[in-house]
């Protein structure tokens, strides 16, 4: 269900490269959540880094929403850059598996597969 790769890049370089890969692949970054910064700002001792990128392709999102509006809760796609025990990783939850758990609609599963191919390509380009 997960697609996670390790990179030799620094956390910051991987985050920068992911943002570039998202744009090159016809998606947009809607928002970046810096979870580590947020936790530390709330007084939580947290030693890892973690940025969650909300990414979207509006054409694909419209296909999903026009078929089943309830799936707005599964959008946008998220790709994370994070550290774990000193190693930088980039990963996502595979859209096709996630969507197939939420819908039996064959057309939606096809859209999710297309998005999955694109998001995995983004991760691979950023690593």
- Tally Cβ neighbours within 10 Å of residue 39: 14
Q: Please give the pLDDT value at position 23.
A: 97
- Note the pTM of the prediction, 2 decimals: 0.94
Q: For the residues 67-79, what does the mean pLDDT come to?
A: 94
Q: Structural domain boundaries of the chain?
A: 2-126
CB distance 88 to 9 below 8 Å:
yes
**pLDDT for the residue numbered 107:** 87
Least confident of 41-50, 83-92, 105-114: 105-114
Tokens of 12: 């910051």
What's the confidence (pLDDT) of residue 27?
A: 97
For residue 104, pLDDT over 90 is answered with no
Q: What angle do CA 112, 115, 118 make, to 5 degrees?
A: 155
Q: Name the CATH code of domain 2-126 (choices 3.30.310.70, 3.40.50.450, 3.30.420.40, 3.30.1330.40).
A: 3.30.310.70
CA 87 to chain centre: 18
């Amino acid at each position: 269900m997960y697609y996670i790769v390790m990179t030799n890049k620094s956390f910051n370089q991987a985050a920068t490269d992911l943002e570039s890969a998202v744009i090159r692949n016809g998606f947009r970054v809607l928002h970046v959540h810096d979870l580590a910064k947020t936790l530390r700002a709330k007084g939580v001792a947290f030693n890892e880094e973690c940025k969650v990128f909300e990414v979207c392709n509006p054409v694909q999102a419209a296909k999903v929403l026009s078929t089943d509006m309830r799936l707005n809760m599964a959008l946008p796609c998220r790709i994370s850059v994070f550290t774990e025990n000193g190693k930088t990783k980039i990963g996502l939850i595979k859209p096709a598996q996630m969507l197939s758990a939420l819908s039996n609609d064959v057309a939606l599963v096809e859209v999710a597969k297309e998005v999955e191919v694109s998001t995995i390509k983004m991760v691979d380009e950023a690593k």
